[in-house]
Amino acid sequence: MMNNMKLMAGGLAAATLSAGVAIAHGSGLDHHKDKMIESALSAGPASVTDGATVLDGEGNVLREGSNGWTCLPEGAMGAMCNDATWMAALGAMMSGEPFPTGSFGVSYMLAGEGDTPGVSNLDPMASEPTEDNMWIKDGPHMMIILPDPAMYADMTNDTSAPVYVMWKDTPYAHLMVRIEEADYE
């Protein structure tokens, strides 16, 4: 998990650096902000994004929202729109704590994983593919946290299934629900 967190931190640093480069080249911070908002909003349906808060990769508010959803631009993990449970789960991951349980959580990643390198389906700490860590780069999908981790027990982690468990048997288990097949070269 810490390696994935390092990837996220690297993505945040790259976003910060590109903001500085945009200013230095005269394209302006507003243009960069607009691009980050556009990226973030690509992750969810209009029923979510129209009223969502948009944060940059460092947690700064780019646009205030009113519907309880939060969208993030593509970074180390791809653009996503999260409900409050998923935002708490991301906070837990960043601090190395288990996901919160007792609540159902939904995250949209309708733009897929974009330019990100992908992730291990087995090991949340993996930072690169190996022969045995089931590396995947998924297309448009939803992620769902179930309120009771025991609910994942009889579910598959086979990434060819339309619904599968990512990071099964870890504190970060969640369902992956494929919306479309990945279209990556």
**pLDDT tens per residue across span 29-55:** 677 899 999 999 999 999 999 999 999
Q: Are 144 and 109 in contact (CB under 8 A)?
A: no
Whether residue 158 lies inside any domain: the answer is yes
**Residue 13 scores a pLDDT above 60:** no
Q: List Cβ neighbours of 103 (8 Å cut-off, separation of 6 or more).
A: 85, 145, 147
The stretch 3-30 carries a mean pLDDT of 42
By three-state DSSP, how is residue 123 classified?
Answer: coil
What is the maximal distance between C-alpha atoms in the chain? 55
Whether residue 184 lies inside any domain: the answer is no
Residue (of 76, 136, 70) closest to 108 by Cα position: 70
Predicted pLDDT of residue 86: 95
DSSP letter for each residue of 73-106: -SSTT--EEE-HHHHHHHHHHHHTPPPP-SS-EE
Predicted pLDDT of residue 16: 34
The stretch 109-137 carries a mean pLDDT of 89
Predicted pLDDT of residue 162: 94
The stretch 84-100 carries a mean pLDDT of 90
Predicted pLDDT of residue 143: 97
What mean pLDDT, rounded, does the chain reach? 84
Predicted pLDDT of residue 179: 94
Predicted pLDDT of residue 70: 98
**Residue 52 in tokens:** 């969502």
Q: Which domain holds residue 29?
A: 2-178
Phi, psi of 142 (to 5 degrees): -115, 155
pTM for the model: 0.81
Q: Which residues, listed in sequence order, are joined to residue 165 by a DSSP beta bridge? A: 175
**Residue 25 scores a pLDDT above 70:** no
Whether residue 31 lies inside any domain: the answer is yes
Predicted pLDDT of residue 11: 40
Number of domains comprising the chain: 1
First to last CA, the chain: 26
